[in-house]
Amino acid sequence: MPRRLAADLVVPDRLHLAESPLWDDRAGVLRWVDILSGHVHGWDPRTGERTFFAAGLPVGAVLLRAAGGLLLAVADGFAVLDGGRLTRIADLDPAGGLLRMNDAVCDPQGRVFAGTMAYSHEPGGGSLYRLDADHSVHTVLPAVTISNGLDWSPDGATAYYADSPTRELRAYRYQDGRLLDPEPFAAFTDGVPDGVAVDAEGGVWVAVAFAGEIHRYLPDGTLDLVVDVPATMTTSCAFGGPDLDTLYITTATENLSPADLAAQPTAGGIFACVPGVRGRAAGRFAG
C-alpha cells in the first residue's frame, strides 16, 4: 500500500482555476495563474507578501525567463511580462478564438512546451506546441483534447505527458525537442491526471483532478505515496522553498456544485506539504 500524507492550506484564496505553480528561485516566490480570469499571482512564503498582475486575457501558465521577467502562455500565443509590461512574442490562434492555452513548462534546454484545448472541450481540438528560443512555434502532438502534465526525468531522456480525458499518463522518449515512442506509465480510474512534477529522485508527482489527491510514482510506475488534499479539484503541483523540499499544490472551484463548494471551504486555495524528497529548479525559457 502507498504511504499517505495530508496537505495543509497555505494561501486561502477562492480561485476559479488555479494552475501552473512555479517556484521562482531568484525571487524566492511561488507563482501561479488563475486561468480564465487571466490573473498571475505571486506569494513569498517567508513574508506573506503577495503580487498580482491582470493580463486582460486568459493565461494558461507562467514560466521563468533566463533573461529576466516571466513568460506567459496566453489565450492565443506567448507574451513576456517584464516590469509590469506585457509584450507579445508569438501568436497562435488557428481556431479563431475557440482555443486557449492550458499548461506549459520549460524543457531542460530552455524550450517551452505548451498545450491548447478547446473551450468546448471538443475531443482532439487542441495540440501540444514547442516554442523555441528564436520564438518559432512547432507542433509536437496534434489532436489533443486537454493538454496537461509535462515534465522530464532527471536525465532528460523521458518526458511524462497526459491528455487528461484519456485517464492515462504516458512516458515518451525525449529527443531533440520531440516526444517519441509513447508507453503507458500510470492509469487513473478515480479522477484524471492533471499537472505533473518530477522530483530529484525521479519520482513522478501527478495531480489527480476530481479526486483531491496527488500521487507519487516511482520511475517503474509503482504508486509510492498519496497526498490527500481537502479540495477535490487538485490541478497541479510543484516543488519550492529555498531547499526545494516543499510540495505546493494548486486547486480550483471549477466544476464544483453549490453543495461541493459548501463542503469544501478551502477549494481554490494553495496547499503544501513536506514529503521528504526534494524537487528540481524550474527551467527558464532561453528566448
Q: Strand 59-65 to strand 178-187: parallel, antiparallel, or no bridges (unpaired)?
A: unpaired
Per-residue pLDDT reduced to its tens digit, 116-134: 988 888 999 899 999 999 9
pLDDT at 119: 87
Question: In the chain, what percentage of residues exceed pLDDT 70?
Answer: 99
DSSP 260: H
Q: Model confidence at 93, in pLDDT bands (50, 70, 90)? A: low
* Domain extent at residue 59: 3-285
Helix (H) or strand (E) holding 202: none
Count of structural domains within the chain: 1
Instruction: Give the ranges where the chain is alpha helix by DSSP (H).
Output: 258-263
For the ranges 115-129, 152-166, 182-196, 202-216, which has the lowest average pLDDT? 115-129
pLDDT at 95: 59
Mean pLDDT for the chain overall: 96
pLDDT at 40: 98
Per-residue pLDDT reduced to its tens digit, 178-196: 999 999 999 999 999 999 9
Indicate if the pLDDT at residue 96 is higher than 80.
Answer: no
CATH of the domain at 27: 2.120.10.30
Q: Model confidence at 110, in pLDDT bands (50, 70, 90)? A: very high
List, edge to edge, every strand of the sheet that includes 168-175: 147-152, 158-163, 168-175, 178-187
Cell of 151: 515534465
Per-residue pLDDT reduced to its tens digit, 26-82: 999 999 999 999 999 999 999 999 999 999 999 999 999 999 999 999 988 999 999
pLDDT at 240: 98
Give the integer Cα–Cα distance in Å for 27 and 110.
19
Give the integer Cα–Cα distance in Å for 221 and 203.
9
Q: Model's pTM, two decimal places?
A: 0.97
pLDDT at 98: 83
* Across 162-177, average pLDDT: 96
CB atoms near residue 7 (< 10 Å): 26
